[in-house]
Copies of this chain bind each other. A is one copy, B any other.
Amino acid sequence: MSPEPMRDESAFLASYDPRAYDPVAVTVDVVALTIRDDALHVLLVRRGGAPFEGMWALPGGFVHAGGRREAEDLPDAAVRELAEETGLSAKGGLLGRVHLEQLGTYGTPGRDPRMRIISVAYLAFAPELPDPEAGGDAADAAWVPVGALGLTESGDQRPGTTRRLAFDHARILTDGLERARDKLEYTPLATAFCGGEFTIPELRAVYEAVWGEELHAGNFHRKVLSVPGFVESTGATSDKGGRRGGPRPRLYRAGDARLLHPALLRPSREEEIR
C-alpha cells in the first residue's frame, strides 16, 4: 500500500498482523466521587489478587477490545467496571444519574508490573449512593473519605497513611480531585452530587466539601440565584429545618445552563496561581 512498504515497519505490521506488534493492553479506571456526611468520598476496591494484593485501587479493568467478545466503547467499559466491581447498577439503575467524563490517560512504562498498560481514567460525580458490594476481582469495595488517604499535591500519599493505593492511582485520584474542584467553578456539576431536588444550603455543602473551605452563606445564596440557568425553583419548601435549627429552606432543581456565567470562583485561589 505504501510506496516503500518497509519504510515504517511498525505501521506496516500493525496494519496486517496486530498480534505481531508490541503487546499492549488498555484498561479503564474510574474516579467516582460522592458526598457523604458533608465529606467528599471516593469509591475504592480492595484488590483480591496480585499485583498489589490487599491494597486499595480505583475500580477498573480491561476494555473489551473486540477479539473474542464484542468491542465496547470506552465510556461503556467504565460503566461496566463500575457496576461489576461494586454492584451499584444492579440495584435498579442507580448509575443512571451519574455524570461521567473522561479524565485523562496514563501510560508511563512500568506503571503496571505485568506488562505495558495504557489506562483511560474517567471521572464520575454521583449523588449519595448505597454502600457498594464487592464483585469481580474486588475483595472489598467501599466509599472512602478522600481526606483519609493522605494525598499530597504531587500525587503521592503521605507516609503513615494506612490505606495505600495501588499502581499510580494516587496520582489519578489527585488529578480527578483537581478536575472536580475546577469544574465546580464554571459548570453546574455540583448539582450532580445532589438528588433531583435540593436546597441552596445543600448545594453549598457540596462546594464546601469539594473545595475544603467554608463559604459565605449570604453571598453564595445571592450568587447561585443570580447566575442564569443554574437552579430553578420548585416552589416547594423542605419539610424540615436545618439539622441544628433555622427555617425550612426552599427546594430547587438543576437548571438548563451548561456553563456558569459569571463563574463561582473559589476564594483561596491566590496560592495556586504561580
Contact = CB atoms under 8 A, between A and B. Distances in A.
Contacts of A2: 48-49, 137
A62 B10 contact: yes
Interface string A87-120: 0000000000000001011011110001110101
A15 to B, nearest CB: 5
A74 interface: yes
Interface in A1-36: 1-3, 7-8, 10-11, 14-15, 18-19, 21-26
A114 B17 CA distance: 10
B21 A62 contact: yes
A225 interface: no
Contacts of A179: none
A1 to B, nearest CB: 4
Q: How many copies does the complex hold?
A: 2
A79 to B, nearest CB: 14
B8 A136 contact: yes
A22 B104 contact: no
A269 B260 CA distance: 10
B23 A65 contact: yes
A258 interface: yes
18 contacts: A1-B53, A3-B49, A7-B137, A14-B25, A18-B115, A24-B63, A26-B107, A26-B118, A63-B118, A66-B109, A66-B116, A71-B116, A74-B105, A105-B105, A257-B273, A257-B274, A262-B265, A263-B263
Given A21-B67, A118-B120, A229-B274, 8 more contacts: A1-B50, A7-B136, A8-B136, A22-B68, A26-B26, A66-B109, A259-B269, A261-B269
